[in-house]
Amino acid sequence: MEVLVLNGSPHGLKGVTAQYIEFLKIKFSQYSFNTLEVAKKINKLENNVDYFHQVLQDIKNAEAIIWAFPVYTMLVPAQLKLFIELLFKRADTKIFQGKITTSISSSANFYDHTAHSYIEGISSDLGLKYVRGYSAEMREILSQNGRDNFFGFANDFFWRVAIDDNLEDKSIPKLINTSADLQDIVLPNKVEKTNDKTIVIVSDANPDDYNLLKMLEFFDRIVPYKVEYVKLNEIKIKGGCIGCLKCGDGSSFFYKDEYAEAFAKVRHADIVLYAGAIKDRFYSARFKKFIDRYFSNGHRHVLKAGLLGHIVSGALNQLPLMREGLEAHIEVAHTQRLGIISDDNSVAEDTLKQIQNMVLYLKHWTKSSQWKTPQTFLGVGGGKIFRDLVYFNRAVMGADYRFYKQNKLFDFPTRNYMQNFISRILMILQIFPAMKKDIKKNMNKYRVKPYEKMIEKERNNETNNTR
């Protein structure tokens, strides 16, 4: 069996993900493995057409294909994203038709499901038959149980290749262009701007991204605050994050380019908007490069912005997990949701109405008490993964560790000592049958009592205030 591994790790063979592949080579030595460094050698693949065509020939000859990658900011690394864009641009997708594929990732399990969902969608678009992937916590393979599970997954995958059937009845629908046509919309006159707040829009809009440019111009004309732009196609970003951890101390950086200056605008803005056009099933590789470079800011809540939102051109409503990732991005950044707008509808007026509503809410929120929506699982779960990751890697994530410690984010098992004390007392009391019976009988009464006290206090305050 000819197994082709598309290694999407910027570390190449020195990456953690590559060690999982090495394990497979040892355990399945009867198969022939060919690993292509599609992330580490992305510049050569982009600029050397002959080399790219060699890769296409290797894909054509393969019987099975494995996408291998670390998870970078809820998706594959920007380098692998660019390789995928090149495939759709340059390759005859017939070379993929009917081949069995899967995905293997290593990560801290932070939104790894969105990365695998993306690869599943891309595989379907290319004509591959996808087998549900394996998302490993980075250290998983170091335990015997982890190795046994991984071996079982791989053995199952190669069996499916042998019978030429992925045994999946799930089909990924093709994306349908249902974007509103904004060609003929009449733009309003610009409203008078104030300097009360600063809005920064990060965008990779190209001249041919007509709808995206129209949406941004419409937003700019009706919003009452000054708008600044970070135009990703005009700033020098040498490369994407390579996971070297040199920035872990908060002072060292691998690249010397214009990224830090551009992100400083974002960091100090009052309101931030990310605006991009979907290329295959996510923002463009260049946008992803900018997002991946956030890692130089660590896992700290660095944005001053109170409001964060997205304006998207493309089939966003057909990509629920991309939308989930954007929602999670807002929560993990500890900002208030400004909104997520797309032109993925057939009525131009509906798109414009969404933008008007975004501006309406923006004005309302900035002039009110500036409350924040409580985090859902998207933010709470992600935050706990970050917390554990920073604590475990504090030797190389010094800046993150100091931030988390200073802000008392290392809250495990809990810093609520009174609650700990009460819980221990209740556990001891339940040794006695009579006490256990009483506690069970009155559990809800005890649980609600603090809330009832709070309500009574607020009721008294309101009564006093109205006298």
pLDDT digits (tens, 9 = 90+) for 358-406: 999 999 999 887 888 999 999 999 999 989 998 988 888 888 889 988 9
pLDDT at position 298 over 80: no
More confidently predicted of 251 and 52: 52
Lowest pLDDT segment from 172-176, 338-342, 367-371: 367-371
Amino acid at 181: D
pTM: predicted TM-score of the whole model, two decimal places: 0.91
Q: What confidence category does residue 252 fall into, taking pLDDT thresholds of 50, 70 and 90?
A: low
- DSSP-derived secondary structure letter, 416: -
Q: Could you read off the pLDDT of 187-212 as tens digits, one per residue?
A: 999 999 998 899 999 999 999 999 99
- When comparing pLDDT for 33 and 256, which is higher? 33
Q: How far is CA 203 from the centre of its chain?
A: 17
Pairing state between β 64-70 and 32-37: unpaired
Question: Each residue of 254-267: pLDDT tens digit?
Answer: 788 899 899 999 99
SS3 168: coil
Q: Which of 276, 360, 267, 366 is nearest to 325 (CA)?
A: 276
Cβ atoms < 10 Å from Cβ of 363: 15
Q: What is the pLDDT of residue 134?
A: 97
Number of H helices, E strands in the chain: 16, 10
Please check whether the domain covering 2-162 is classified as CATH 2.40.37.10. no
Instruction: Output the DSSP codes for 296-325.
Output: GGTTS-----SEEEEEEES-GGG-HHHHHH
Query: Does pLDDT of 413 surpass 80?
Result: no
Helical packing angle, 377-392 and 320-332, nearest 10°: 60
Q: Please, is 140 exposed, middle or buried when counting C-beta atoms within 10 Å of its C-beta (0-12, 13-18, 19+)? A: middle
Specify the CATH number for 194-366; select among 3.30.465.10, 3.40.50.360, 1.10.10.10, 3.40.630.30.
Answer: 3.40.50.360
pLDDT at residue 452, as a whole number: 83
Residue 102 bridge partners (DSSP): 66, 131
The answer to whether residue 157 scores a pLDDT higher than 90 is yes
Q: What is the pLDDT of residues 94-111, one digit of tens each?
A: 999 999 999 999 999 999
Distance of CA 108 to the CA centre of its chain: 13
For the ranges 155-164, 279-288, 444-453, which has the lowest average pLDDT? 444-453
Average pLDDT, stretch 456-464?
86
Cβ-proximal residues to 320 (8 Å cutoff; 6+ apart), any chain? none
161 burial type by CB count under 10 A (0-12 exposed, 13-18 middle, 19+ buried): buried
In this structure, how many other beta carbons lie within 10 angstroms of the beta carbon of residue 90?
13
pLDDT of residue 69: 97
pLDDT band at 251 (very low <50, low <70, confident <90, very high): low
Of 19-23, 115-119, 359-363, 430-434, the poorest mean pLDDT is in 430-434
Q: For residue 174, what pLDDT is reported?
A: 92
Q: What is the pLDDT of residue 75?
A: 97
Q: How confident is the model at residue 426 (pLDDT cuts 50, 70, 90)?
A: confident
pLDDT digits (tens, 9 = 90+) for 209-232: 999 999 999 999 999 999 999 999
- Whether the per-residue pLDDT at 168 is higher than 90: the answer is no
Q: Which two tokens stand for residue 114?
A: 């969105």
Predicted local distance difference test score (pLDDT) of residue 195 = 86
Span 117-126, average pLDDT = 96
Instruction: Tell whether the model's pLDDT for residue 269 goes beyond 90.
Output: yes
pLDDT of 243: 82
DSSP track, 9-45: -TTGGGSHHHHHHHHHHHHTTTSEEEEEETTTTHHHH
Sequence-distant (6+) residues with CB within 8 A of 432 are: none
Torsion sign over Cα 59, 60, 65, 67: positive
Instruction: State the pLDDT at residue 463.
Output: 85
On the CB side of 88, how many CA atoms lie within 13 Å of its CA?
Answer: 15
Query: What does the pLDDT average to over 270-280?
Result: 96
Contact in structure between 331 and 376 (CB atoms under 8 Å): yes
* Nearest Cα residue to 310 out of 354, 366, 364: 354
The pLDDT value recorded for residue 118 is: 97
